[in-house]
């Protein structure tokens, strides 16, 4: 089965927590703070893999979680950064945010794209030492990573895309000009999923995509419809194959018009792509029949090539024309995927997220990172307490508590920890 649309979940790693530790050495009574910083959480990275041609591996594995950074240690040892998680996808994969539909990355070039960064490690207590605070007993928790639902969509990246009605000879053509061996048969919808073939001509080569036949109403999902129209979007040139043999009793000009109409209804831009028209199965027809269609097509500004895949007539001229045309055609315009920067902002916001509720007389703060902080602090230590209060002030928790009606002396709960609010 050809899988070209999947939903997966990814999560970048949390940063490691900073450590609270004091230097210990024989004969030195009270050493200074030496708690190291936490390591960075792993990033979520996408990498193009030329050996993959479908997204089928994602039918079974759908969750990708990067590891968390290691906590800091004593003697100012920094925690180890976690390895990144690398997700391999075929060339032409578009990665988008499942919820917003926004495209985040277009994996079309060799190399990798860092989609989600891991959380930074928290500072160890050594970091908080000052001339007046020589023995801080607190450290900072690492930043949280971000979990996100993504949609992966594979859109073929081919130089030339074959379009046309079913049974007009698209697969036969790709089978005689490339090494691709698609199924060929005398019925409609023989080809059920796109197939790529590398065409070598003279001293150059290009990629041709055989796309399943289109029919009227394809833009609304008729036949194999929209599933494959979207692949056409990323081809440099369209090769419109029209059966001119008339053995099925079809009218080539009407067929040509109907397919163009489908392309246009799907996306106006498709019709502005360079298009070359091929009259196929010429071995089954007479020259006069081909001439009238040739005139029709040329009068509309398209180049026309009569061919027969059976006798190979006209193929050399067609390939010459494709190579020449490709030489002066750029790739379809690139996508804007500024979304990656937004994700970094989102990760920062989510990493410091909190919600405040009132239940009875108690004010409750729900927050993953504040829970983490509370579990790390020693509240019998006045400096730690001060640090905690500063954090509540700095990140706006205090003002939200006040908005809900908290006053000095009100009870506030974070996880299993209760404390008194001070304004």
Ligand X SMILES: Nc1nc2c(ncn2[C@@H]2O[C@H](COP(=O)(O)OP(=O)(O)OP(=O)(O)O)[C@@H](O)[C@H]2O)c(=O)[nH]1
Which of the stretches 85-93, 181-189, 358-366, 383-391 binds ligand X when contact is defined by CB under 6 A? 181-189
Q: Which is nearer to ligand X, 189 or 379 (CB)?
A: 189
For ligand X, which residue of 110, 185, 222, 349 counts as binding (CB under 6 A)?
185
Is 357:366 a contact under the CB 8 Å cutoff?
yes
With contact defined as beta carbons under 8 Å apart, do 12 and 119 qualify?
yes
For residue 92, the partner it binds in Mg ion, ligand X, none, with Cβ less than 5 to 8 A by kind, is: none
CA-to-CA separations, 372 to 71, 345, 352, in angstroms, rounded: 12, 21, 11
Q: How many residues bind ligand X (CB under 6 A)?
A: 23
Region of 111 on the Ramachandran plot (φ > 0 left; ψ -120 to 50 alpha; else beta) = left
Point out which span in 188-196, 263-271, 317-325, 413-421 binds ligand X (CB under 6 A).
188-196
The stretch among 79-87, 130-138, 146-154, 185-193 that binds ligand X (CB under 6 A) is: 185-193
- Shortest separation between residue 276's beta carbon and ligand X, angstroms: 16
308 binds, among Mg ion, ligand X, none (CB under 5 to 8 A by kind): ligand X
Closest CB to ligand X among residues 228, 388 = 228
Contacts for 129 with CB less than 8 Å, ≥ 6 apart: 32, 33, 135, 136
| Rounded-to-integer distance, Cα 33 and Cα 52, Å | 51
The terminus-to-terminus CA distance of the chain in angstroms comes to: 63
Q: Is the dihedral of CA 243, 248, 252, 255 positive or negative?
A: negative
- Name the one range near ligand X by CB under 6 A: 75-83, 118-126, 178-186, 380-388: 178-186
Residue 167 interacts, among Mg ion, ligand X, none and using kind-specific CB cut-offs from 5 to 8 Å, with ligand X
Total residues contacting Mg ion by CB under 5 A comes to 3
Closest among 157, 199, 181, 231 to 318, alpha carbons compared: 199
* Sites for ligand X among residues 190-219 (CB under 6 A): 190-191, 212-213
**How far apart (Å, rounded) are the C-alpha atoms in residues 276 and 139?**
67
Which listed range, 34-42, 275-283, 337-345, 351-359, lies at the site for ligand X (CB under 6 A)? 275-283
H or E stretch at 363: strand 362-366
Site for Mg ion in 172-191 (CB under 5 A): 190-191
CB-nearer residue toward ligand X: 68 or 172: 172
- Angstrom distance (rounded) from CA 361 to CA 265: 61
Residue nearest to ligand X (CB): 213
Enumerate residues 6+ apart whose C-beta is below 8 A from 330. Answer: 236
Name the minimum Å distance from CB 283 to ligand X.
Answer: 5
Question: Rounded to the nearest whole angstrom, what is the least distance from the CB of residue 295 to ligand X in the complex?
Answer: 21
Q: Examine residue 240 and tell whether it contacts ligand X (CB under 6 A).
A: no
369 and 143 in contact (C-beta within 8 Å)?
yes
Is 178:209 a contact under the CB 8 Å cutoff?
A: no
Minimum CB distance to ligand X, residue 244 (Å): 10
The reply on whether position 189 binds ligand X by CB under 6 A is yes
Cβ proximity to ligand X: between 185 and 362 the closer is: 185
140 neighbors 377 (Cβ within 8 angstroms): no
Q: Which two tokens stand for residue 379?
A: 């509240």
Question: Got the DSSP string for 184-211?
Answer: --SSTT---S-EEEEEEETTEEEEEEE-
Taking CB under 6 A as the criterion, the residue among 196, 261, 284, 323 binding ligand X is 284
Instruction: Give the 3-state secondary structure of residue 403.
Output: helix
Site string for ligand X, 153-172 (x = CB under 6 A): -------------xxxxxxx
From Mg ion, ligand X, none, which one binds at residue 284 (CB under 5 to 8 Å depending on kind)?
Answer: ligand X
**Shortest distance in whole angstroms from residue 243 CB to ligand X:** 8
Site for ligand X in 298-337 (CB under 6 A): 308-310
Cβ nearer to ligand X, comparing 183 with 200: 183
CB 48 within 8 A of CB 89: yes
Q: Which 8-state DSSP code applies to residue 406?
A: -
Of 113-172, which residues contact Mg ion (CB under 5 A)?
171
Q: In angstroms, give the least distance from the CB of 180 to ligand X.
A: 11
Point out which residues bind ligand X (CB under 6 A): 166-172, 184-186, 188-191, 212-213, 280-281, 283-284, 308-310
Point out which residues bind Mg ion (CB under 5 A): 171, 190-191
């Amino acid at each position: 089965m050809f899988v070209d649309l999947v939903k997966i979940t990814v999560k970048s790693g949390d940063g490691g927590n900073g450590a609270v530790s004091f230097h210990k050495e024989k004969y030195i009574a009270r050493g200074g703070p030496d708690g190291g910083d936490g390591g960075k959480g792993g990033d979520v990275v996408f990498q193009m893999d030329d050996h993959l041609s479908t997204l089928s591996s994602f039918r079974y594995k759908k969750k990708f979680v990067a590891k968390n950074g290691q906590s800091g240690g004593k003697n100012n040892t920094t925690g180890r950064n976690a390895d990144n998680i690398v997700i391999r996808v075929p060339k032409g994969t578009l990665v988008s945010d499942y919820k917003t539909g926004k495209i985040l990355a277009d994996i079309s070039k060799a190399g990798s794209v860092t989609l989600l960064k891991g959380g930074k490690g928290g500072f160890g207590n050594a970091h908080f030492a000052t001339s007046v605070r020589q023995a801080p007993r607190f450290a900072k928790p690492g930043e949280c990573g971000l979990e996100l639902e993504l949609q992966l969509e594979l859109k073929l990246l081919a130089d030339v895309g074959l379009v046309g009605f079913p049974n007009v000879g698209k697969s036969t053509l790709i089978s005689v000009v490339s090494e691709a061996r698609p199924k060929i048969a005398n019925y409609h919808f023989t080809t059920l999923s796109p197939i790529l073939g590398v065409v070598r001509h003279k001293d150059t080569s290009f990629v041709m995509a055989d796309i399943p036949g289109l029919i009227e109403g394809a833009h609304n999902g008729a036949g194999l419809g929209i599933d494959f129209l979207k692949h056409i979007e990323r081809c440099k040139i369209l090769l419109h194959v029209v059966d001119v043999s008339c053995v099925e009793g079809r009218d080539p000009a009407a067929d040509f018009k109907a397919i163009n109409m489908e392309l246009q209804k799907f996306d106006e831009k498709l019709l502005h792509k360079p298009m070359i028209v091929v009259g196929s199965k010429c071995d089954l027809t007479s020259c006069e029949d081909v001439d009238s269609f040739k005139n029709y097509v040329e009068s509309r500004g398209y180049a026309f090539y009569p061919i027969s895949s059976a006798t190979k007539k006209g193929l050399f001229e067609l390939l010459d024309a494709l190579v020449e045309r490709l030489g002066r055609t750029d790739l379809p315009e690139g996508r804007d995927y500024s979304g990656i920067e937004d994700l970094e902002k989102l990760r920062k916001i989510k990493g410091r997220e909190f919600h405040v509720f009132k239940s009875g007389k108690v004010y409750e703060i729900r927050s993953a990172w504040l829970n983490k902080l509370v579990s790390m602090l020693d509240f019998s230590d006045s400096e730690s307490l001060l640090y905690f209060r500063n954090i509540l002030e700095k990140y706006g928790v205090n003002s939200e508590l006040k908005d809900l009606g908290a006053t000095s002396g009100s009870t506030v709960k974070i996880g299993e920890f209760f404390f008194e609010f001070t304004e």
